[in-house]
Structure formats: C-alpha cells, structure tokens
Amino acid sequence: MTQELIDLKTCLIEGRYAEALEIVEELESMSKQAILARIQSYLAILIIHLIKNQVEQRLTNSWASSIRNAIREIKKYNLKDNKTSFYINGEEWQHLLEEEIIESAIADASDEVLNGKYSRAHLASMLDKTTIIQTAVKFLHLTYNYSAKELPAIMDEYLSQLPGGDIWLNRGN
C-alpha cells in the first residue's frame, strides 16, 4: 500500500488525475478486501463454536465469549465509515456462510470438537449445517438492530437458547 500512496502523490503532483483516480480505486478495493477478510475470519470463529456447541450439546464460558466477541467484531467491521451502510447486507450472510465459510470451519472444528475425536469428513456428516447457518444468521442479524452497548445482553438471551445454554446462563444460581 505504501507504493500506491507514493504513486498517488506523484500522479497528483504531476497533474495525472485520471491515473490518480485509478490508484484511489485500487486502494479502496484493497481496503474493502481487507475488511471482508477480517469479517470472514470472525465468521469462521462463530461457526466453529456453533459446531462445537451442536456436537457437544453444551455451552462453555469460553465458547459464549468467543461467539459474543465474533458478533461484536463483525458488527464493528461490517459498518462502513458513513455509518449508514454495510459491507455485507443482511440477506447476504446465508450465501456467504454456505459458499465460503462452513466447510473450512468444519475442517478447523474437527481439530477441536471433543479434542479432535472426529475427522473432518466424519464431523461434516454428523452436523446439521442448516441449523448452524440459521443460528449464525440469526446472531448476525442482531448486529443491524442493536447497538454495541445493547448487544451483550441480547446475545446472552440468544446464547441461552443454544444446547446447554440454559445451564450456562443459570451458572452460579
């Protein structure tokens, strides 16, 4: 990116505005790709923990924290600088999860679920992917409707609906 900025400065100084605009567009594209990659990494974390929850039928403090953090970070990165639009709109999550995230998340989760008890293929055959994706989309839609301040309390309500979530929510009572 440093070279692009140097080139942009040179183009502006030399009055090559059309070329400068091309560089600006390239920088915008690079920025968007970096943001989408960050969102996708948090989506993978979300899906991995939903897979572990589905298979192990429990919810640990660590998993709940990771799910909440993933949703919070996705909310932060998905909102464009104009604060009125998003990089990924609500209706795009399901396709993104089905086409780009779920299979790699299953591969990573196979190393974690029950301490790596299942191969990727075996784990994939056990899962109800539709439910995992629907749950993830439900959590992701919260990012459009609640502020960062409201999200933790709302997330607790949704986390309590996961397998083992009632036990997790009522711990210490």
pLDDT digits (tens, 9 = 90+) for 12-60: 888 887 888 887 788 777 778 899 999 999 999 999 999 999 999 999 9
**Which pLDDT value is given to residue 23?**
78
Phi, psi of 86 (to 5 degrees): -125, 155
Bridge partner list, 10:
none
Residues of the chain with pLDDT under 50: none
**Which pLDDT value is given to residue 173?**
65
User: Where do we find the tokens 């974690």?
Assistant: 112
**Which pLDDT value is given to residue 11?**
77
In angstroms, the CA 134 to CA 72 distance is 18
In angstroms, the CA 39 to CA 56 distance is 26
**Which pLDDT value is given to residue 62?**
96
pTM of structure: 0.87
Q: Which two structure tokens, joined as six digits, stand for 164?
A: 């083992």
149, burial (CB in 10 Å: exposed 0-12, middle 13-18, buried 19+)? exposed
**Which pLDDT value is given to residue 150?**
94
R_g (Cα) of the chain, nearest Å: 20
**Which pLDDT value is given to residue 4?**
79
Contact 79, 151 (CB under 8 A): no
